[in-house]
Amino acid sequence: MRRDSIGFWIAMVLFLGAVLLATQVVGNEYPFFAGYVILQFIVLAVAWSILGGYAGYVNFGTNAFFGVGVYTAVFLVKATGASLFVQIATAAVVGALVGLAVGLLTLRMQGIFFSIATIALSIVIETSVTNWRYVGGAAGIQLQRPPVMEPFHSYVQMLFFVQALLVVLAIAIARYIQRSWLGRGLQALKDDELAAECTGVPTLRLKLMACVVSGALMCAAGAPAAMYLQYADPSSAFNLNYSVTVLAMSLIGGTANWIGPVLGAILLGVTQQLLAVTISSEVNVLVLGVMLVLFVVAAPEGILGLIRRIVHIRAGSKV
Amino acid sequence: MISMDLLLNAVVLGVLLGCFYAAVSLGLSVSFGLLDVPHVAHPAFLIMASYGVFFLNDSYDIDPLLAGLMITPLLFVFGLIAYRIYYETFEKRGTDAGVRGIAFLFGIAFIIEVLIILQFGVDQRSVSASYIGKAWRLGDMRIPVRLLVAFAVASALTILLTLYLSKTFMGRAIRAVAQDQEALRLMGANPVRIKQWAFGIATAVLGIAGALLIIVAPVEPTLDRAYIGRTFCVVVMAGLGSITGTLIAAIILGVAESIVLSTVGASWAPAISFAMLLAVLAIRPQGLLGRRS
């Protein structure tokens, strides 16, 4: 193991340890309730960047994967009363399969066609779920939380810890892809797909792989939301706001490195939690939209790009 | 088994609805089909125009179609500015324009949506005019006059735009810029100016289209999401940039939606356009009358 990898894993273990400690020490539930949402968006943004950032395919269908995750959990709870772990694991498998299907159907298209196709898929899936009586149809469905497991005191704290585990998993996978030949291949096809194909990069296989991994992670991140809200309905589970939020977080953070979407998700997630408490949810979306547009225009590489530019200037002035 | 009467009724209504879909897709057919701008904010611009019409109708009691005409010049200028910004920030720089351009327009669409909510609220809004609410009887069939109005105006708009693009100097220049920008540059023309003009036209026709939208049914701020599917379905199925194809594709979509609505039920209607779009992309990405082979 290389030295920076050791550093990375120590940081991850420290992060999980801190989360676990917080669930034991902090009595108030609200920080976990709010923090859960931020962690969830970190997973979604990191997962989105695997396809959207490394490969440059703008996926507008985050809401489709998230919603499929939610409804996989709903279905399992209703049909078998499955445990949270089973819900998440199954959601990941379903997400991978949906990702594969989406990929096979849409990844031959490029640019805007792929993006529009992902919106289309999300609406088609949403409409199907809306018409599926068993999971509640358009009216939605109420869910009962099972008793909480040791060592946690409340279910929200447990969900918070579980989502933190998913964050570590997502980051580890994104980091692995980025540093391996997979990431370099995706980078190559992002720069010039035809040239990559000609030099022997298996572009379609790489894109499919990215779509499957990204889909699995997004679905896994969505699965605990059913128990978090104790309620699910198609129009909120498949809300297009998830797509624009995750897109904004990834692009604002910068997609060249896995740390970008993490930064973006923390920054925007915290802002949103503060705004949601103080002002209305509409203003929340407005702030998000304006930040997305500003960053895309003024800081194309996101926060990562800004940091790099500052470092360059500092380094330049010393010489 | 559904009766022939019901089916015939559905088809007639579908054709009328289809012509209306053509009217709301014409702008996208120019901006996306001819100019290659990934204009996901087109439906948001459309809803914005509808709310402009609603405002004029509600406050000053102006006929919705007249109101649509009145906001057309404003929309034209808005389109000119929007394209200039888009060009300067994305097309000119070139690199990675696709990803960021799409994200930019997606963000703009959301901003428009929220601004409409903040200004007009989330409730459905509709306009009042003498021809709204009446119906025209033809045997057993009952055809709402509002759809007939939409049909007539939409057809006129489609014909006008076709004539503009084929007969006028500027219209031909727009088609030329879609075919070969470099050649146009070599002839001494400025392709950016022509594209900007074309984007202005594409946005200006939304005045009438937005009026038709709010005449046909009440609008709400998030309606643009459904129209992403409808407009892109029509334009992609048409074959990028083909105005005749736009009309044919829109009628196919209208009839399909109308038949599903009267047989399977309204709850499946939102998925029709998106499912057709996916099918077209998967089977025949060049569309019915594509400009690229």
The answer to whether the beta carbons of residues B127 and B57 sit under 8 Å apart is yes
| B 87-116 → A contacts, CB under 8 A | 89, 96, 98-100, 102-104, 106-108, 110-111, 113-115
Residue A246 in tokens: 């995750």
Residue A146 in tokens: 């099972």
CB contact under 8 A, B267 and A131: yes
The identity of residue A183, as a single letter, is G
Predicted model pTM: 0.88
Q: Say if residue A165's pLDDT is above 90.
A: yes
Residue A274 counted as domain residue:
no
CB contact under 8 A, B111 and A244: no
B8-48 confidence digits (pLDDT tens) = 888 888 999 999 999 999 999 999 888 888 888 999 999 99
Chain B closest-CA separation from residue A50 CA (Å)? 14
The domain containing residue A78 runs over which residues? 3-240
Q: How far is CA A235 from CA A238, A241, A280, in A?
A: 5, 11, 19
Count of structural domains within chain A: 1
**A-chain residues near B270 (CB < 8 A):** 123, 126-127
How high is the pLDDT of residue A24? 82
User: In the structure, what pLDDT confidence band is assigned to residue B96 with cuts at 50, 70 and 90?
Assistant: low
What residues contact residue A92 under an 8 Å CB cut-off, 6+ apart?
Answer: A216, A217, A219, A220, A223
DSSP collapsed to 3 states, B116-156: HHHHHCCCCECCCCCCCCCEEEECCEEEEHHHHHHHHHHHH
Residue A31 counted as domain residue:
yes
How high is the pLDDT of residue A265? 92
- Residue among B111, B232, B285 whose CB faces A289 most closely: B111
Nearest CA in chain A to B87: A297
Structure-model confidence comparison of residues A164 and A198, the more confident one? A164
* C-alpha count within 13 angstroms, C-beta hemisphere, residue B35: 30
CB contact under 8 A, A112 and B225: no
Residue A304 counted as domain residue:
no
Q: Say if residue A28's pLDDT is above 90.
A: no
For residue B181, count CB atoms less than 10 angstroms from its CB and return exposed for 0-12, middle for 13-18, buried for 19 or more.
middle
Torsion on CA atoms B150, B155, B157, B161, rounded to nearest 10: 160
CB contact under 8 A, A58 and B99: yes
**B-chain residues near A282 (CB < 8 A):** 114, 117-118
Most confidently predicted of A212-226, A252-266, B232-246:
A212-226
Nearest CA in chain A to B230: A120
How high is the pLDDT of residue A227? 87
B156-176 confidence digits (pLDDT tens) = 998 999 899 888 988 888 888
Nearest CA in chain A to B41: A116
User: In the structure, what pLDDT confidence band is assigned to residue B293 with cuts at 50, 70 and 90?
Assistant: very low
Average pLDDT value for residue range B137-154:
82
Nearest CA in chain B to A283: B114
Cα–Cα distance between A49 and A58 in angstroms, integer?
9
Residue A23 counted as domain residue:
yes
Tokens 């029509």 belong to which residue?
A: B234
**A-chain residues near B284 (CB < 8 A):** none
The identity of residue B125, as a single letter, is R
Least confident of A241-245, A258-262, B98-102, B105-109: B98-102
- Residue among A56, A106, A138 whose CB faces B99 most closely: A56
Cα–Cα distance between B130 and A177 in angstroms, integer?
63
Residue A283 β-bridge partners? none
The answer to whether the beta carbons of residues A124 and B274 sit under 8 Å apart is yes
User: In the structure, what pLDDT confidence band is assigned to residue B238 with cuts at 50, 70 and 90?
Assistant: confident
Residue A252 counted as domain residue:
no
Q: Say if residue A50's pLDDT is above 70.
A: yes
**A-chain residues near B89 (CB < 8 A):** 297
Q: Say if residue A238's pLDDT is above 60.
A: yes
Buried b (16+ CB within 10 A) or exposed e, A19-44: bbebbeeeeeeeebbbbbbbbbbbbb
Q: Say if residue A319's pLDDT is above 50.
A: no
CB contact under 8 A, A116 and B40: yes
Chain length of chain A? 319
CB contact under 8 A, A248 and B107: yes
Structure-model confidence comparison of residues A281 and B97, the more confident one? A281
CB pairs under 8 A between A and B: 115
CB contact under 8 A, B285 and A240: no
Q: Say if residue A318's pLDDT is above 70.
A: no
Q: Say if residue B241's pLDDT is above 50.
A: yes
What residues contact residue A147 under an 8 Å CB cut-off, 6+ apart?
Answer: none
**B-chain residues near A251 (CB < 8 A):** 100, 103
Residue A308 counted as domain residue:
no
| Test the B interface: residue of A54, A60, A109, A124 with most B CBs within 10 Å | A124
* First-to-final CA distance of chain B: 41
DSSP-H helix ranges across chain A: 3-25, 30-52, 62-80, 84-106, 112-130, 155-179, 181-191, 193-198, 203-222, 225-229, 234-237, 240-253, 259-278, 281-298, 302-318
Cα B178 from chain centroid? 19
B109-135 confidence digits (pLDDT tens) = 999 999 999 899 888 888 887 777 777
* B40 in contact with chain A, both atoms CB, cutoff 8 A: yes
Q: Which DSSP state fits A231? A: E
Residue A298 counted as domain residue:
no
Q: Say if residue B203's pLDDT is above 90.
A: yes
User: In the structure, what pLDDT confidence band is assigned to residue A226 with cuts at 50, 70 and 90?
Assistant: confident
Considering chain A, what percentage of its residues have pLDDT values greater than 90? 28
Nearest CA in chain A to B229: A120
* B86 in contact with chain A, both atoms CB, cutoff 8 A: no
